[in-house]
Amino acid sequence: MSFKHENKKNDTELSKYLWQLKEKKKYFTIMWEILAKARAYPNLTKQCNLCISEKFFTISKPYLATLNKRIELISTCRLWRKYILKYNN
């Protein structure tokens, strides 16, 4: 995700939106807030608490997830590959 390098402007929905604002020469400010803390994919339980927390906030507080796409609710965790030995060469 990049807000400075134009070749990465289509990587995420947030970067797409910010690059649209830049092209329209609109001023914007990015404000971040930590909604919850969770551990990413523990290999023992095979359930990613980080992804579950994100899905919870997307469903229960949709006004906080205005850039999220509905498909993200059914997608699998992208972090699990990091913890599988055969993918860590």
* Structural domains counted in the chain: 2
pLDDT (0 to 100) of residue 25 = 92
Whether 27 and 41 share a structural domain? no
CA-CA distance, 76 to 1, in Å (whole number)? Answer: 20
Whether 49 and 87 share a structural domain? yes
Token representation of residue 80 = 């699990």
Q: Which residues of the chain have pLDDT under 70?
A: 1-2, 41, 43, 68-72, 80-89
pTM attached to this predicted model: 0.60
Whether 18 and 56 share a structural domain? no
Whether 25 and 67 share a structural domain? no
CA-CA distance, 22 to 34, in Å (whole number)? Answer: 25
